[in-house]
């Protein structure tokens, strides 16, 4: 028998925000309250997710976005998937593409996609959209259970990794402990000030 859930529908006159992390949702709602577009809210939420959910969302990732403009019922898709390095060729991967490590990486597409969407649909300045993410990265946020578990799993799978220390995240983190990522805050600040070319 399927479990019974009691999640009610959400209705709004001015827009809604949904994401996997409450801090990202809060950022999206705040942007909408300030008069930002749905795409502005999506950019703000994506940036916050890069801070609070780096195992699934990060500046080195991709973005795939479909937009709909109600005024003329048009749709526009943004493909922010990174391409392989130009020097890559099939012969270099006789056993297929690695799932982990430097040979699995593509050129990051997320940041460029933020700016492409913003150029088309943005209403508020990029500095304002990235401000919540910069705030959480600089001053911290409480680690939730998922954040702590992802670190533990990554360390179990890759015990020699230095990625967390490079990011300024303690590997013995406990739930509720404040996480800061000042290097990420600086990177996001540069992107906010200088645009996609900073990345």
d(CA 89, CA 85): 9
Please check the confidence at residue 1 and state whether its pLDDT lies above 70: no
Please check the confidence at residue 91 and state whether its pLDDT lies above 90: no
Please check the confidence at residue 123 and state whether its pLDDT lies above 90: yes
What 8-state DSSP symbol labels residue 141? E
Mean pLDDT on 36-61 = 94
How confident is the model over 125-181, as pLDDT tens digits? 999 999 999 999 999 999 999 989 988 888 888 888 888 888 878 888 899 999 999
For position 43, what pLDDT does the model report?
A: 98
For position 100, what pLDDT does the model report?
A: 78
For position 25, what pLDDT does the model report?
A: 96
The average confidence (pLDDT) of the chain is 90
Comparing CA positions, the residue from 176, 173, 184 lying closest to residue 142 is 176
Q: What are the residues whose beta carbons fall under 8 Å from the beta carbon of 30, sequence distance 6 or more?
A: 44, 132
For position 104, what pLDDT does the model report?
A: 79
Please check the confidence at residue 84 and state whether its pLDDT lies above 80: no
Residue 4 exposed, middle or buried by CB count within 10 Å (0-12, 13-18, 19+): exposed
Q: How many Cβ atoms sit within 10 Å of the Cβ of residue 55? A: 12
More confident residue, 140 or 14: 140
Please check the confidence at residue 61 and state whether its pLDDT lies above 70: yes
Residue 159 exposed, middle or buried by CB count within 10 Å (0-12, 13-18, 19+): exposed
Q: pLDDT tier at 38 (50, 70, 90 boundaries)?
A: very high
* pLDDT over 70 percentage in the chain: 97
């Amino acid at each position: 028998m399927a479990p019974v859930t009691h999640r009610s529908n959400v209705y709004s006159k001015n827009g809604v925000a949904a994401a996997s992390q409450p801090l990202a949702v809060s950022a999206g709602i705040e942007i909408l309250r300030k008069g930002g577009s749905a795409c502005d809210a999506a950019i703000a939420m994506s940036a916050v997710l890069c801070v609070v959910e780096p195992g699934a969302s990060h500046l080195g990732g991709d973005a795939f976005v479909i937009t709909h403009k109600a005024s003329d019922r048009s749709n526009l898709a943004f493909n922010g998937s990174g391409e392989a390095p130009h020097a890559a060729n099939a012969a270099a991967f006789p056993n297929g593409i690695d799932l982990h490590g430097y040979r699995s990486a593509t050129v990051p597409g997320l940041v460029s996609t933020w700016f492409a969407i913003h150029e088309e649909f943005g209403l508020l300045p990029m500095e304002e959209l990235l401000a919540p993410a910069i705030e959480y990265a600089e001053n911290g946020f409480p680690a939730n259970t998922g954040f702590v578990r992802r670190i533990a799993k990554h360390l179990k799978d890759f015990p020699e990794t230095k990625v967390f220390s490079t990011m300024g995240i303690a590997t013995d983190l406990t739930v509720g402990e404040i996480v800061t990522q000042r290097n990420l805050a600086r990177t996001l600040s540069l992107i906010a000030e200088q645009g996609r070319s900073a990345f």
